[in-house]
Structure 1
Amino acid sequence: MNPVHPKKLLLSKWTAVQPQGREKHFLVSALVQPEPPGAALEWVEIEAVHSKRSRRIRWRELRDAAQWRQGWV
């Protein structure tokens, strides 16, 4: 399990263990603010470094070492 806290996610760097569509390196580009305000953070936007494509994932997925490695490896 990758140790990560939601307050430290913004602009953090991640490497996908199994690249999809030749996209391997990602950056957390935005924290999706929950509704209602004050609720726990659930979603983040990650952006592929090479293609600049972004997608929304649950931030807890980044804790799964079988899918993600912290930093750019």
Structure 2
Amino acid sequence: MIVKDTRLSNGNGDFFQIDMLLLCPNFLLILEIMNISGTLYFDPAFNQLNMSKQEKERGFRSFNTS
């Protein structure tokens, strides 16, 4: 089953959105869709994805807790 654009509550009054959720008998897969342009590179020292475009730079921090 594919579920698109689902808004869920964490039970504490906060909400979050899942772009696409693929449900299978043995697993589920959460897909977050992003449209990022420019030059992308991963910086392992800071554990983040960096985007450079037209002399501007932005970092996307990883939320991986492992």
TM-score for the superposition, normalised by structure 2: 0.29
Name the structure, 1 or 2, with higher relative contact order (CA <8 Å, separation 6+): 1
Give the number of the structure whose alpha-carbon radius of gyration is greater. Answer: 2
TM-score for the superposition, normalised by structure 1: 0.27
Higher relative helix content: 1
